[in-house]
């Protein structure tokens, strides 16, 4: 699968998030899966499997378009994973039926149109508050958000705008017990003009918001492309990182000897920071998907 096709697939999935707000007026009772998610809040928390060493591992749903969420959950359960992530609200209830969770839930913003735009804040905050309440009821740990593209805006202005909008979300995140995670993405290969494309910018944002319910989603693939120096950067910014994603560089494929990162060393460094969150496998398999996923899980088990 080409890099271009991979990028468009991710964008296509995430772009759908922007239309979620239109259905909010219908009420949560009319959204498939929300009643089940709310009921789950009265039930015991999912039994997360522990077959992946010191680090809890997850798999990103969008990388397996030929599988239903149910089928991917069954495969994840068999491998020993604890989560299937990047699911929309109508799917949040599915992993729990397999003893899993959704470690990173889809949020209110899109990659291109995010919190760096003040004219979007009212919409994003309202939708974010709605989704946070539902995610909290479903006992999900994290909700993803994006900075948005620069579109001519300076990094300083964008950081200040993101901080204002995200600070407005923090009371709802605190009530829900859900952490809002802003993803760092590369603007060199996959997401041209994306603003949160360096760790230093994201860390400055996190320290400006300065709330325990706001963290960064450090995507190892993306940050290797933009800046390298992954292990030192992770250690220096462990306090503001709430989630990780993986993929091989170059190509966003398997975590094997065809790519330049030593994922075993990276995982040992992450574990060494005392990290207790999730590692989301987000590579595009080029071979048998489940064989590749098992290999990645083994590589990241420390």
Position 52 scores a pLDDT of 63
How many other CB atoms are there within 10 angstroms of residue 33's CB atom?
Answer: 18
179: phi then psi, degrees, rounded to nearest 5? -95, 130
Scanning the structure block, which residue is given the tokens 């009821």?
A: 137
Q: Is 36 part of a structural domain of the chain?
A: no
Position 51 scores a pLDDT of 53
Q: Is 191 part of a structural domain of the chain?
A: yes
| Count of domains forming the chain | 1
Position 16 scores a pLDDT of 37
Helices (H), the chain: 3-15, 34-40, 69-79, 121-137, 155-176, 199-209, 220-226, 230-236, 263-272, 289-299
Position 8 scores a pLDDT of 37
The domain spanning residue 207 has which CATH number? 3.20.20.150
Q: Is 235 part of a structural domain of the chain?
A: yes
- Supply the pTM of this predicted model: 0.84
Q: Is 41 part of a structural domain of the chain?
A: no
Q: Is 113 part of a structural domain of the chain?
A: yes
- pLDDT (tens digit per residue) in 37-65: 333 333 333 434 445 688 999 999 999 99
CA atoms within 13 A on the CB side of 144: 28
Cis ω on the peptide bond leading into residue 250 (within 30° of 0)?
Answer: yes
Structural domain for 239, as ranges: 3-19+48-299
Q: Which residues of the chain have pLDDT under 50?
A: 1-50
Q: Is 193 part of a structural domain of the chain?
A: yes
Nearest CA-CA partner of 229 in 240, 215, 218 = 218
Q: Is 26 part of a structural domain of the chain?
A: no
Within 8 A by CB and 6+ apart from 211, the residues are: 167, 170, 173, 174
């Amino acid at each position: 699968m080409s890099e271009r096709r991979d990028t468009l697939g991710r964008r296509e999935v995430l772009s759908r998030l922007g239309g979620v707000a239109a259905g909010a007026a219908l009420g949560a009772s009319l959204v498939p899966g929300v009643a089940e998610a709310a009921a789950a809040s009265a039930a015991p928390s999912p039994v997360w499997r522990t077959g992946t060493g010191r680090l809890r591992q997850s798999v990103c749903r969008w990388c397996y378009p030929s599988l239903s969420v149910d089928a991917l959950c069954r495969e994840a359960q068999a491998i020993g994973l604890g989560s299937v992530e990047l699911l929309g609200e109508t799917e949040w209830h599915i992993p729990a039926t397999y003893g899993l969770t959704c470690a990173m839930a889809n949020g209110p913003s899109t990659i291109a149109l995010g919190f760096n735009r003040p004219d979007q804040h009212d919409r994003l905050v309202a939708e974010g508050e709605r989704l946070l309440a539902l995610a909290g009821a479903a006992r999900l740990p994290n909700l993803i958000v994006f900075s948005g593209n620069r579109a001519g805006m300076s990094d300083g202005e964008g950081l200040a705008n993101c901080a204002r909008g995200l600070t407005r979300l923090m009371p709802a995140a605190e009530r829900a017990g859900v952490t809002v995670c802003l993803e760092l993405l590369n603007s060199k290969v996959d997401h041209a003009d994306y603003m949160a494309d360096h760790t230093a910018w994201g860390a400055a944002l996190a320290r400006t918001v300065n709330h325990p319910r706001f963290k960064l989603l450090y995507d190892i693939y993306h940050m290797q492309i933009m800046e390298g120096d992954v292990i030192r950067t992770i250690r220096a910014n462990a306090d503001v990182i709430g989630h990780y994603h993986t993929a091989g560089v170059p190509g966003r494929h398997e975590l094997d000897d065809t790519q330049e990162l030593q994922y075993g060393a990276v995982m040992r460094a992450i574990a060494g920071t005392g990290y207790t969150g999730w590692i989301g496998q987000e590579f595009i398999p080029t071979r048998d998907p489940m064989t590749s996923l098992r290999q990645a899980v083994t590589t990241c088990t420390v």
